[in-house]
Structure 1
């Protein structure tokens, strides 16, 4: 009896066998051990979850692409420019621009492509570039308006004191004007033998309602803040850059510290504690002391290098007006005369202020302690894909557009700030960073802004 039980256990340990299976050449069937079963089960569940989420993402993007594909099949005359979407992309704090570009390439660009729309991308690798770009566009509109209505072209002249005769000074570089007016269609392309198109019509200039013209997408909370700040700066700020901040505040502060025989590191620490932006300060090396003529020369040299570097980077300009000055600044005549709809005089397209705005948050967690939450988000990426694709489709179809609610709409995408690293926010507060400063607006500007309805709009109904 004991020997039969032992034989049965030995047979069971070797696996399952059957004469019929042996006749067909199938070896003994044996299940893996417990540890191997656990390993393969976990691996299968992990890979299956990834594959399922990736598949759902592709299906969601494909579904929304198919829903707007009919728009690209509409005929468009050769003298017409299609609708254009302006996309502002900013990287998450303490992260690379590639993180935001992945969202653009995977979920936004395919839908715009299948809809047959044109788009312009403005990328930011430094804080303030988007704000400067938006403000410069509006300032240029204001300058063009003043030149057309108030400005009179003047010819410089030289007056001879003896004869009291004036001689006009002509442009010493007439080739520049020829280059600006030169059209390559006159010598190449199909227009060499055929009459060229004299007037190009922008589709965005035709709708009576400016909300149906173009569109703006801000990818990231930082891009959204800079875009709103750029609108206020362009409309309320001066046309020319005011006196630099460092000339008014930094020089007296440094002079006071120099009298106290302070080191360079102590100067930086003192300025960090003040409300002056640290990025606008240039101090000598840490091992240098600020005393005597040599130290003063080092400060001046570093300041000159800093100013020269900022001049070379024409993409970024300091603020022309602070948010605290919005309410005290009147709207100038060149703006009031163009309202309620300000258009580009060259194209007839309403400026970005009037075009519908869509803000898309870019979730990005970093740090060791956030690994569990990052894993959960990784397996639920399809929900974020659905949210982004649906919002972009609404923008393309020009529905679900509503007026800007001030100040509640300043909180659009505020959930993204919960992912910002705390040490980065703390450092930004010390440096007076634009992204962590109080986000303010003026109703005289926001009354002309329209945005895409968010999820909480439908929940409130």
Structure 2
């Protein structure tokens, strides 16, 4: 007999078949014999949960990478526009233009935030154009105002001193040519010299008055002295420039300019203390008399004293020593110091720094004050290097967006993913400052970067109003001051989308 086909073993049937459930279909995928020979398993799509995870991760990281890439491209574009300015050759007798940059930290934050904003968006364009700049930072409110006002007051004092010296020189020249000197000094001196010949005392003169180091080396005997000429002195419109990083910085700068031009040269005397009311004086005397009255403690041998109902006898626990009173009085002061939060998030030891001087003039006194009588305001005011002074140079204001708070997290996320738009705006403003495109100051320009105040913490604003902070007050300007100022602004070419040309150098 021939053997038939072997029957399949019933024990090898899948458990799913035995239980009556349908078998799980094999996972879809793709494979290749060559890959299987190399030990690579079947290639298949990940599960639904893994797909969600990788999609979310790719979206988050891709958005950040794309935004940073666009920022880099924007910086590269504007740096290429001003690159030709850095290739210009400067001889030994030519000094490049210089900008002044004022930087202050955002409210309730650190100075590093504003410096990061400057280094990331403004500084690359300035470096690409080979523009020189000086940076002034502050850690406390009022430092920038004090610095600007102090420079202007110093200029006024120098001009006043120069005017006094010139008047004395003219008086001396007139006296030397007068007959009064001839009869009172020249004639007696001549007669005295004829009668008695006395040796004149030896007069010592400083070496610096006789010659300089260049005269000693004989350098300028062969080569003519180099007379440096600054680019800032050629054209008033293209002279220097002031960049204010932040709305608060701009407020302090303008307030400092008004204080320097309209305020007095010396600090006003402190106001007299307000007279105390009669009730306050009587209350202080009563407290003082009560504190000086000693509390008697009855001895053990003394007879008991009857006390009226409702009266209490002080015990030793209730009687405190002077040290205890001092510690109790010091506690509220420590609490008040703890409650007094700093204007900025800096960790500097402010006790070691001198206090910020108060303004020499308030905005309400601008109209009655005279405009710097020591300076000639009929023409452009220049310093000893023939460069227009600080308040004669154009201004540029840059917004520093900084949000805080849990409720603002969605807005912060959106801004984090769209920093390329901020980079575009700041680079465009910097480009106008590099090219020197400016226009006359308008009264509405006092609201420049005012949108930044919407991001300031409300608690910080309330605390600033209690402290009478300069940042939270409304910015007041005087027409006599702002009519001399200019503002960096977009030109018609740049607004039309065309590339702006660099100003012609004289």
TM more than 0.5: yes
Q: Does 1:386 align with 2:424?
A: yes
C-alpha displacement at 1:353, in angstroms? Answer: 1.4
When residues 431 and 253 of structure 1 are mapped into structure 2, their CA distance, relative to the original with a 3 A threshold, is: farther
Q: Does 1:229 align with 2:239?
A: no
When residues 218 and 365 of structure 1 are mapped into structure 2, their CA distance, relative to the original with a 3 A threshold, is: same
Find the counterpart in structure 1 of residue 447 from structure 2.
411
Of the structure 1 ranges 226-235 and 194-203, higher mean CA displacement relative to structure 2 is found in: 194-203
Q: What TM-score, normalized to structure 2?
A: 0.68
C-alpha displacement at 1:9, in angstroms? Answer: 2.7
Aligned with 1:341 (options 359, 380, 392): 380
Deviations 1:404-429 (A, max 9, x none): 111x1111100000110000000000
Aligned with 1:422 (options 449, 458, 462): 458
Find the counterpart in structure 2 of residue 168 from structure 1.
none
Which structure has greater helix proportion? 1
C-alpha displacement at 1:333, in angstroms? Answer: 2.4
Q: Does 1:9 align with 2:9?
A: no
Find the counterpart in structure 2 of residue 248 from structure 1.
272
- CA distance in structure 1 between the aligned counterparts of 2:406 and 2:131, rounded to whole angstroms: 41
1:150 match: secondary structure: helix
Check whether the contact 2:93–2:227 (CA below 8 A) recurs between aligned residues.
yes
Of the structure 1 ranges 21-30 and 369-378, higher mean CA displacement relative to structure 2 is found in: 21-30
Q: Does 1:202 align with 2:230?
A: yes
C-alpha displacement at 1:339, in angstroms? Answer: 3.0
Find the counterpart in structure 2 of residue 329 from structure 1.
369
- CA distance in structure 1 between the aligned counterparts of 2:265 and 2:424, rounded to whole angstroms: 42
Deviations 1:266-303 (A, max 9, x none): xxxxxxxxxxxxxxxxxxx99439xxxxxxxxxxxxxx
Find the counterpart in structure 2 of residue 108 from structure 1.
122
Check whether the contact 2:101–2:242 (CA below 8 A) recurs between aligned residues.
yes
- CA distance in structure 2 between the aligned counterparts of 1:180 and 1:48, rounded to whole angstroms: 70
When residues 428 and 316 of structure 1 are mapped into structure 2, their CA distance, relative to the original with a 3 A threshold, is: same
C-alpha displacement at 1:37, in angstroms? Answer: 1.3
**Bigger-Rg structure (1/2):** 2
Check whether the contact 1:211–1:354 (CA below 8 A) recurs between aligned residues.
no
When residues 258 and 370 of structure 1 are mapped into structure 2, their CA distance, relative to the original with a 3 A threshold, is: farther
Find the counterpart in structure 2 of residue 130 from structure 1.
144
Find the counterpart in structure 2 of residue 302 from structure 1.
none
Q: Does 1:239 align with 2:277?
A: no
2:26 match: secondary structure: helix
1:416 match: secondary structure: helix
Q: Does 1:288 align with 2:288?
A: no
Q: What TM-score, normalized to structure 1?
A: 0.74
- CA distance in structure 2 between the aligned counterparts of 1:182 and 1:54, rounded to whole angstroms: 59
User: Which runs of no fewer than 5 residues in structure 2 stay unpaired?
Assistant: 1-15, 169-203, 288-325, 331-348, 497-506
When residues 32 and 310 of structure 1 are mapped into structure 2, their CA distance, relative to the original with a 3 A threshold, is: closer
Q: Does 1:87 align with 2:101?
A: yes
Give the count of matched residue pairs: 388
C-alpha displacement at 1:313, in angstroms? Answer: 4.7
When residues 59 and 255 of structure 1 are mapped into structure 2, their CA distance, relative to the original with a 3 A threshold, is: farther
- CA distance in structure 2 between the aligned counterparts of 1:97 and 1:109, rounded to whole angstroms: 16
1:132 match: secondary structure: helix
Deviations 1:59-91 (A, max 9, x none): 111111111111111121212221000000011
Check whether the contact 1:132–1:315 (CA below 8 A) recurs between aligned residues.
no
